[in-house]
Amino acid sequence: VTVAEVRERTLDELTLGSSLSLEELVERSALNEMAKSFHQLFGVPLRIFSDAGVLLADVSVQPAIYEYLAENHRRAKAALQEVVAGVKRVDPGPKGEAAYNCFTGAVYHVVAIQYDGRKLGRLVLGPFLPPTVKEIPQTLLAVEPEVDVAAAKELLFRMPRAREETVRQIARHLRGTLDLILFSGHKALLTSSMHLASVRESFRDLQEKNGKLQEAYDKLKELDRLKSNFLATVSHELRTPLTSIIGYSEMLAEGIAGDMTSEQKDFVRTIHEKGEQLLELISGLLDLSKLESGTLAMRRSEVAIDALVADVVQTVSPTARKRGVHVASQVDDALPRLWADPTRLRQVLLNLTDNALKFTPPNGTVTISARATSVDVAPPDDEGGVVLLRSKQAAIELRVSDTGIGIPDEEKLKVFDAFYQVDSSSTRQVGGTGLGLSIVKRLVEGHDGRIMIQDNKPSGAIFVVTLPCRRATLS
Ligand code: ADP
């Protein structure tokens, strides 16, 4: 079913169908209000019935004469019941209005309520007494000959008096007002039904799309899990033979299996070098898949930052010297210790420093610095909203800054994606896999830390890692 179809159907129902009733078009309270104000203006009792005969609005009181007759005269009581039923039966006919005369001399005026050629209900004005009635009428005496004429007359004349012509005019006026009310009621109903139909339709649409999205999401998640599993298995299986290749090529290069020509030695050295590269890549993949699946175990202990930085500086110095890049370190005194996995932390710092060296031309400088800072931590039960409840926690800020080519703003987030390289063209001078930073980021986050990139002045990049000294969450 399309929106158009729904709309058409609703329109059909609302314009042609016979299901529409007066109560649906106008609220009872509105009808009552209108009846009340007409009664106040003209003093004539008024009731409004639906087509099905349900009393929707009523501003009438039992006339005193009716009460008196019903209480004291059995026949008159029966006749009055007949009047009530008779008034209900009156068919306003094609003219839309008809009068009903009560044996007491009172008159009812019945008017049809129509809308769009459809009968919706009836207005009953009365009972009222036309001014022409000056005595107890013969009709009453015929029904109840023994009535106390003087008393009855006094009571009868308490009834609201109006000329029939006046009541007809009031009725016309009422119909006009009702027409207006019905028109706007119908319009409102039509609009809201159409609105409802289209809202319902778009809701259904959305639900359907939502379902499809969820399905796609689940599929992707499953695929991602399979990919991680596959990566983990494959890299694990590749590592074992690769270690042999590296080991044996190393032994060959050392001449354990006999002397080799210099060309053979060159070849074997290349095999060894490429083997090491491959091993690094595979270890990276393995780390990443473990980090993705959350199975990488962190072995935390107290880590002294100064020793860690010194170790990294020492490790990279040979490479730095080869590239002609100066490596410096700046570690503040008396830094608090970190509760972290020392191997993983070293991996983070080493990776960042390696990158800095890779992208810094000769005569540049790479600086590793560490200082104390603090981070906001939310209490464990905090849902993320109440900033006032957050507390500060001691943290360490590690910076690896270089004077190299720097990282453009639009690449600052992307470099943390797996396999992403700023310039991955074949003309690229430095090697690499594009895995390093994605692993670094996950390792930092595994320590509840954050990593971001700043620009160095006048050129170069600064990688800033902030690590809380203790875990924010207990686990
Ligand atoms: P790669 O193995 O290519 O170094 P990384 O994930 O470590 O992979 O880095 C991704 C990319 O980010 C690099 O290829 C490089 O383009 C850019 N990058 C990383 N560190 C630096 C840096 N210090 N200066 C400039 N660019 C950098």
Output the average pLDDT for the chain.
87
On the question of pLDDT at 8 being above 60, the answer is no
Cβ(359) to ligand 1 under 6 A? yes
Give the model's pLDDT for residue 475.
39
Cβ(144) to ligand 1 under 6 A? no
Cβ(354) to ligand 1 under 6 A? no
* Residue bearing the bigger pLDDT, 474 or 301: 301
On the question of pLDDT at 472 being above 50, the answer is no
Q: How many CB atoms lie within 10 A of CB 343?
A: 11
On the question of pLDDT at 450 being above 90, the answer is yes
Cβ(336) to ligand 1 under 6 A? no
On the question of pLDDT at 185 being above 60, the answer is yes
On the question of pLDDT at 1 being above 60, the answer is no
On the question of pLDDT at 377 being above 80, the answer is no
Ligand 1 center to 313 CA (angstroms): 19
Give the model's pLDDT for residue 13.
58
Cβ(355) to ligand 1 under 6 A? yes
Question: Tens of pLDDT along 96-111?
Answer: 899 999 999 999 999 9
Give the model's pLDDT for residue 93.
85
Question: Tens of pLDDT along 419-430?
Answer: 888 876 655 667
Mean pLDDT of 367-383: 79
Question: Tens of pLDDT along 222-235?
Answer: 998 888 888 888 88
* Residue bearing the bigger pLDDT, 118 or 5: 118
Give the model's pLDDT for residue 6.
54
Ligand 1 center to 47 CA (angstroms): 86
pLDDT band for position 442 (50/70/90)? very high
Ligand 1 center to 350 CA (angstroms): 13
On the question of pLDDT at 116 being above 90, the answer is no
On the question of pLDDT at 194 being above 60, the answer is yes
Burial class (CB in 10 A: 0-12, 13-18, 19+), 174: buried
Q: What is the CA 48 to chain-centroid distance, rounded?
A: 46
* Residue bearing the bigger pLDDT, 68 or 186: 68
Cβ(446) to ligand 1 under 6 A? no
Give the model's pLDDT for residue 474.
44
* Residue bearing the bigger pLDDT, 185 or 123: 123
Nearest CA, atom 23, ligand 1: 356
Which atom of ligand 1 lies nearest, measured to the CA of 400? 23
Cβ(284) to ligand 1 under 6 A? no
pLDDT band for position 85 (50/70/90)? very high
Single out the residue of 26, 474, 19, 435 nearest to residue 231, CA to CA: 435
Which atom of ligand 1 lies nearest, measured to the CA of 460? 24
Cβ(436) to ligand 1 under 6 A? yes
Tell me the percentage of the chain whose pLDDT exceeds 90: 59
Cβ(432) to ligand 1 under 6 A? yes
CA distance 97 to 109: 7
The structure's pTM equals: 0.56
Most confident listed range (47-61, 207-221, 287-301):
207-221
On the question of pLDDT at 12 being above 60, the answer is no
Mean pLDDT of 450-474: 86
Which atom of ligand 1 lies nearest, measured to the CA of 405? 25
Which atom of ligand 1 lies nearest, measured to the CA of 423? 16
When mean pLDDT is compared across 30-44, 203-217, 305-319, the lowest value belongs to: 30-44
Which atom of ligand 1 lies nearest, measured to the CA of 434? 8
Give the model's pLDDT for residue 82.
94
Nearest CA, atom 8, ligand 1: 434
Ligand 1 center to 355 CA (angstroms): 6
Mean pLDDT of 132-151: 92
Nearest CA, atom 11, ligand 1: 421
Give the model's pLDDT for residue 133.
92
The answer to whether 451 and 438 have CB atoms below 8 angstroms apart is no
